[in-house]
Structure formats: structure tokens, C-alpha cells
Amino acid sequence: MNATVLITGAGSGIGLAVARRVVARGARAILWDISGAALTAAQAELGAAVETSVVDVSDAAAIAGAPLDGVTHLVNNAGILGQRMEWGALDAEHLQGIFDVNVVGLMMVTQAFLKARVSHPQSGIVNLSSIAGENGGAPGFAAYGASKAAIMALTRAMARDFAPDLRVNALAPGIIDTPIQDAVMTAPDARAQAAEGIPLGRLGAADEVAGTAEWLLFDAPYVTGETIRVAGGRR
């Protein structure tokens, strides 16, 4: 397959799961993450089909300096949850940091992708939002929820602006059992309690989200501007 997929936040969790599927499909992957150690492990696992760069998506200079040769598809996965903050103790600098990664970073990575992109008949972008963008997120994480809602709006705008040459869709995962949940689920039984509120009765797996991302990237030629929940029925 003559495709090269840029995946941000690709060192672990959903990003790494997408990378595995991209490589298994016969495509090439460019992996960006802030963790050099995670990227080294991903490279060792996935081999010559991937190339890696340590990139903080909130750093415009780092984005501009990273190689993007032959890129045809994009998965905007990099994101941060941020710290739990009550309304009486909001910290403007921390709030800005969440939006710098989750929203501004997504836009700047997309800009770099558009400049470097080469033509491909199935070219597409998948943005990682969250059901927190619809329900506001867990108590104390309003900024995260707001940033994910912004991604849903951006997805619709991007789909309009980039049509007809480039499809843009988003995924809204529910509670997926990845390291990002550790900041929220601190109690020993937190995962079991969370599963009780999910119609399918369990947390999702990163590969289940990655499978939907793969479909949107390569097998959904008449789908654009959509946000698809991957949440086990939870809203």
C-alpha cells in the first residue's frame, strides 16, 4: 500500500495501536511523541516500516523541524488530560497548556501535514476527540472536555475546508483502558465501578479504537465531517 500515515502521540495507548494496524496493513508510519523511550520501544516492535521523531505538538518549531516525507494520511492523537481542577482553583497557565496541546497543536500539526502531503486516492485525517466533548468529562476536568468539544467543531470545519481532496473525521472514545486513565481512576476499584456505567459492561481497548481509525483512514471513501463514538454505548 502506497500510504504514509503520520500519527501523533504514537508512543503508547491508542496512537501505538493505530501504528500497529497501519503497519500490518502494509503502509508506512511516521510516529511522533514527546517520549523518546516510548518511540524507541515502538521502533523496536514495528521495525523498518516506521520512522520516529520526538515532537511536542505544542511547540511550533518542533513541528516545523520534523521530517514528513511522503505523508498521505494523518491521525491527530496527541492529547493531555491535565490536572483535576475545581472552579475556585483554576490556573490559567495550566488551562492554556491543555488547549495548546489538544487544540492548537492539532491545528499546527494539520498545517504541517497539508504543506507536506502528497496525493493519495484515499487520503484522510482522523482526529481523536472524546465523549467528554459531549458530556463535559469527569468532575474537575472541564478544560479537557472543552478541548475535546473544540476538536469536534474543528473536524467539521476541516472537512468542509479540505473537501473534496481530503476527508476529515473524528473519533470520540469512551473510557478506554490506557495509561491516561491512571490520573482519573486512582481508587483500586475505579475501573470496575466505571464499567458498571457502560452498557457493554467493560472498558474499551486501544485496539478497538484503532480499528475504527483504520476504517476511517482507508475504507470509508464517502464519510467526512463525522464524529464516531467508540464508547461501548456510554454517552
**Known catalytic residues?**
144
Please identify which residue in the block is written with the cell numbers 491545528.
107
Q: Which of 233, 103, 99 is nearest to 174 (CA)?
A: 233
Instruction: Report helix, strand or coil for 152.
Output: helix
* CA angle centred on 168, ends 162 and 172, rounded to 5°: 150
Instruction: Report helix, strand or coil for 48.
Output: helix
The cell numbers describing 66, all together, are: 520534523
* CA angle centred on 65, ends 64 and 68, rounded to 5°: 80
